[in-house]
Amino acid sequence: MLKHSVVLLFASVFLAQSASELRFSLRADPKTFHPLEVEDEASETIRYLTGGVLIRLNRSTQQIEGELASKWKVSENGRRIDFELRPKIAFSDGTPFTCEDVVYTLTQLMDPALHSPVGDGFRSTPGPLDAKCTGPSAVMARFPGPVAALAAQFDSVAMLSAHSPRKEAAVLGPFEVADYKPGSYVLLRRNPNYWKRDAAGKSLPYLDSIRLEIQQNRELELLRFRRGELDIVNKLDPEMYERLSSEMPHSVVDAGPSLDWEVVFLNELASSPLADYKRRWFRSEEFRRAISDAIHRDDLVRVVYRGHARAAVGPVSIANRFWLNAGLKPPVYSAASALDLLERQGFHRSGNSLFDRDGHKVEFSMITNAGNKLHERMLALIQQDLGQLGIQLNVVTLDFPSLIERISRSFDYESVLMAFTNIGLDPSDQMNVWLSSAANHQWNPNQKTPDTPWEAEIDRLMRAQAAAQEPGKRKAYFDKVQAIVADKAPMLFLVNPNVLSAVSPNVKNVAPATLRPQIYWNAERLYISGSLVSQR
């Protein structure tokens, strides 16, 4: 009798529908629900939660895994990829997923009129795509030119249905868009046809829905989290983290250094509207290294980031385990060595000020984006640090469009403090930063020919790593790039901020990662405690 009751109890437990909803916020309205047109963070969040991809980057292990594709093979030096698709998968509206959908999606992706960062990652060379079904569930795609880390690029490509009447609203991810109230929220509900199951055979996702509140104000977001109205705050600044950790210690997560950089660069453009003597300073690698040595990175970490950051080594964060050149160390703070470097270049101190060999007082400005408290604080610290050398640093905060205009169009700036967000692990994502001819070679962009021998060498090494397929070879090339950057200091890498989040203790199966999206990367396996796991 007792056995019966227990069995019945468990049966009812397992057969009951759960009513669990995860709530967190988006910083802005999504600009698009079309997965291939995603350019902003809010749209990317929705794409991640609703899109089904052939290959996924596991944010925890940093290794790629098959999703909709059970197998794949890259050949022809990174031009061709063949997929074997998982059988019996359907879109959210029941339309079967076939190789034709893959061909359709890739054709859309490679349309020159699309103009998206996702598509651009595959367009290393102009030309048409050759994609076709090679079997009932096999598909081949040949790109016009080699694509570095070709398989990993598919992590961002959500499959579209070629046949569904719902078009891009038919999805293969764990959730689908159920409702959208502009300015207010986006509601995602579980995809009833999601293909994935857990180890016990239960269908995923565990959650019934995800509610994404549109919330720009971080103080409000934190207030709502404290009140239990939100389950996750995906990005906390260090001050909020400290506050929350004293009130709700079990709710805060420090996942360690992110892939992002905080960096300073000086204007080295030969044609910039700067005074000649200033241009000479900025184009001197000894001057740049002196500035780098004079900045107290440990204080930036301790004072601005409250310990939740790491002094940066170079263009690769310590979080990027494979690609980091482990032989490099962060610059050590030393005002003495900085002064020594400057004196060897003919600079000298007189009173509290530093002068160059021609008697010009060393004074320049550093701009950053206004409203960013971390940057404003960093600038105040850097100002004091450089003041120790007798350098007068004028701090200027600008609204973001004005800042972009100065560093990308008019080049009317002297130095900049900026944050760089790295989405992926692969150095090929940074090609346009390191190639001297590229627009994002921020300190001296769009060079017709490399301005310096070391930039020419970086060009050669970056192209070599993009063309090579073997990971070890690619790493060797990129290690050399990192070493040159550390030596010549075109960019002064300051810190890699940590990934700081808040998660309600009610949310289970959270495995914080340093790669975006840090907390909900495994959304299909998250559940709310006290809710029941549903079973189909």
* Sites of contact with another protein (CB under 8 A): 29, 31-32, 39, 112, 115-117, 120-121, 123, 182-184, 214-217, 219-220, 222-223, 239, 243, 299, 302-303, 363-365, 367, 369-371, 376-377, 379-381, 383-384, 394-405, 408-409, 412-414, 423, 429-433, 438-440
Nearer to another protein, 99 or 338 (CB): 338
Nearer to another protein, 207 or 431 (CB): 431
Are 386 and 347 in contact by the 8 Å Cβ rule? The answer is no
Separation of alpha carbons 475 and 325, rounded Å: 8
Are 250 and 407 in contact by the 8 Å Cβ rule? The answer is no
| Residue 195: both structure tokens together | 């293909």
| Other beta carbons within 10 Å of 396 | 17
CB of 301 to another protein, least distance (A): 12
CB of 445 to another protein, least distance (A): 11
Nearer to another protein, 254 or 363 (CB): 363
CB of 102 to another protein, least distance (A): 22
CB of 351 to another protein, least distance (A): 18
Tokens 């999504």 correspond to 30
Separation of alpha carbons 315 and 429, rounded Å: 12
Nearer to another protein, 140 or 403 (CB): 403
CB of 131 to another protein, least distance (A): 19
Are 60 and 511 in contact by the 8 Å Cβ rule? The answer is yes
Nearer to another protein, 27 or 86 (CB): 27
CB of 330 to another protein, least distance (A): 18
Nearer to another protein, 226 or 349 (CB): 226
- Amino acid at residue number 428: S
Separation of alpha carbons 313 and 316, rounded Å: 7
CB of 303 to another protein, least distance (A): 6
Are 305 and 262 in contact by the 8 Å Cβ rule? The answer is no
Strand partners, 82: 73, 140
Are 323 and 475 in contact by the 8 Å Cβ rule? The answer is yes
CB of 191 to another protein, least distance (A): 25
| Residue 477: both structure tokens together | 């090339």
Which among 375, 367, 452 is positioned nearest to 412, based on CA atoms?
367
Nearer to another protein, 135 or 273 (CB): 273
Plot region of 398 (φ>0 → left; ψ -120 to 50 → alpha; else → beta): beta
The contacts of residue 8 (CB under 8 Å, 6+ apart) are: none
Nearer to another protein, 493 or 527 (CB): 493
Nearer to another protein, 9 or 404 (CB): 404
Nearer to another protein, 208 or 221 (CB): 221
Separation of alpha carbons 181 and 143, rounded Å: 39
Which among 85, 69, 91 is positioned nearest to 137, based on CA atoms?
85
Number of alpha carbons in the 13 Å side-chain half-sphere of residue 249: 1
CB of 9 to another protein, least distance (A): 40
| Residue 283: both structure tokens together | 């184009």
Strand partners, 367: 396, 416
CB of 302 to another protein, least distance (A): 8
Q: Alpha-carbon dihedral of residues 94, 99, 102, 106, nearest 10 degrees?
A: -150
